[in-house]
């Protein structure tokens, strides 16, 4: 797996890839400097820049994988909070409404079906 694919997968999982992007930019800059040195005939400098670029990316894929896993975990946690929280809130409202209805029914019992404001005959 190359570094760009690893970063893309981490981002797709919801991870913050700002640090990964920064590392990719730094490695790309070093590689550009290596190519420039090579085109100018400075083969030793080109090799130094290329080695520095590779060392920047040494743990990149494993770091991206860790961020991807953390992003997926956060997404799963957010889903559970939203679903369980919404379900729990709905149940609490229903139970509270039933309890209030029961309390009011006991406090104000029915008077035989007579509506308020109607005259008793």
Q: Are 13 and 72 in contact (CB under 8 A)?
A: yes
pLDDT of residue 96: 95
**117 backbone φψ class: left, alpha, beta (φ>0; ψ -120 to 50):** left
Check: pTM over 0.85? Answer yes or no.
no
* 82 has pLDDT over 90: no
The crossing angle, in degrees rounded to 10, of helices 18-39 and 3-12 is 160
Alpha-carbon gap, residue 64 to 8, rounded angstroms: 9
Supply the pLDDT for residue 120: 53
Binning pLDDT at 50, 70 and 90, where does residue 81 land?
confident
- Residue whose structure tokens are 């308020």: 116
Tokens of 10: 């981490």
Q: How many CB atoms lie within 10 A of CB 84?
A: 10
């Amino acid at each position: 797996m190359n570094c760009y694919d690893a970063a893309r997968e981490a981002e797709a999982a919801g991870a913050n890839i700002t640090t990964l992007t920064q590392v990719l930019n730094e490695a790309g800059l070093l590689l550009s400097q290596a190519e420039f040195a090579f085109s100018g005939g400075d083969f030793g400098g080109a090799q130094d820049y290329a080695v520095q670029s590779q060392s920047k990316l040494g743990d990149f894929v494993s770091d991206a994988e860790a961020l991807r896993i953390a992003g997926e975990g956060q997404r799963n946690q957010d889903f559970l909070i939203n679903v369980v929280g919404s379900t729990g809130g709905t149940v609490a409202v229903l139970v509270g409404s039933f309890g209030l209805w029961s309390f009011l029914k006991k406090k104000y019992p029915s008077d035989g079906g007579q509506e308020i404001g109607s005259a008793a005959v």
